[in-house]
Structure 1
Amino acid sequence: MTRGRRQFRQNRYVIRVLIADDQTLVRTGFRVILEAEGDIEVVAEAATGTEAIRQSQLTSPDVILMDIRMPDLDGLAATEQIRRHPDAPTVVVLTTFDQNEYVYRALQSGAAGFLLKDAPSSRLIAAVRAAATGDSLIEPSITRRMVERFATPAEPTGPPPELSALTDRERDVLRLMARGLSNAEIAAELVVAETTVKTHVARILTKLNIRDRVQAVVVAYQSGFATRHQS
């Protein structure tokens, strides 16, 4: 159960979502899409970054859908403040701006996913569910931009020092995480159980001393590991 706050309703757990976007029509559209799903409830909305922080504290959502460009305080700064707390909700950043600076800042601020607003509704729903279970979902186009940003002209020899503690299978998992694959997709790729993948991910986070899988993706690109293993 995510962070102990998901409600039990009619024999199922309900994912509590906060939508933060300065456009009323966008918030309404997201609400309609999400609340059509039986396991998702929109518990609050916010039109500014400051209001997103306040509503997060008041309603204790499991997942926040966070726009980047908002008045008062932008979504990236709001995400950074929210994620400082130990029991913070996970944040999925949504924007119309597919730009390197936004992608990297979102990941650094602690976001658990990054989706463009024109993504299919099924992708939005999948991102919310992934975030609620501690997984992440990053659009493949955004992963490619990470490759472009961190690609190095020279090919390093041997694994980077910060990854030396990982086993070969854990490096396989990290490589697939860096491609934007979810736990279920990694399990299918490696032909193992999803619970096995979750165990590998947990060990990767512990060995790299980081808080979540998105930070692991950042480490993979910063170190050059991901750019050497892209297919």
Structure 2
Amino acid sequence: MTTTKTSAKESTAIEAAATAITNAEAKHAALLAEATIAQENVTKAEAEIRRIETCIANDDLTAGLEDLTKVDTQLRYYKLQNQAKTRAAAVAGGAVATARTALIVARVEAGEYSLHMDRLRPEAEALATKIAALLTEHVALCKAHNEGRVRLLADAKDSDAVNDQGTGNPESSLAWGHEDQKRHKPIWVEVDGKPVSEIYEAGRWEAIQRRAEWIMKFGEETAANSTTAYIH
């Protein structure tokens, strides 16, 4: 199923299925109520028979054989009626289940469940290819950074920041602490406000994947504040 937009025909089918459920549920409820009444009549008739039998046994003339025959006939009728209503209610319950199935099918055909099994795999494969390309590109940038760092250090050996004593010119822009005319460690360079350091290319894969997992599980802010999800 690929469609997500419900057509007029599909909407009509869904509405019809929903209406069928409503009607089936109403019929089922009515039959259940009738079965309940029939059961109540059975209970009342059985109680009446016990009363009449007690009267006859005690020679109580308030109830006799004619009453017993009448109520016994009623009891047999109520029992048969209860059986019929109970069976009818069971059938009606099955009709409700069938109607609900029809509604599900109508919704599936209309794409309301947003099922896209024919599209998910190729999209996932394309996404994986895209992510792999981005990671490869990033690692290539890391490699270029490291190569540039090596060239920078090599070039710095010929600058005024380095001399035989390893201190160099304190006023050199490549000398750490040159702003204060101090003789600190030479070949100190910042890029974007950070000292130039070596980037571990291979470790970047795992670090990036770990950061992505943290973002998906806990959100961007949590990942940003987590040392576990930190990218060195």
Q: TM-score, normalised by structure 2?
A: 0.19
Q: TM-score, normalised by structure 1?
A: 0.19
Structure with higher strand content: 1
**Which of the pair has the greater relative contact order for Cα pairs under 8 Å at 6+ separation?**
2
**Structure label with greater radius of gyration:** 2
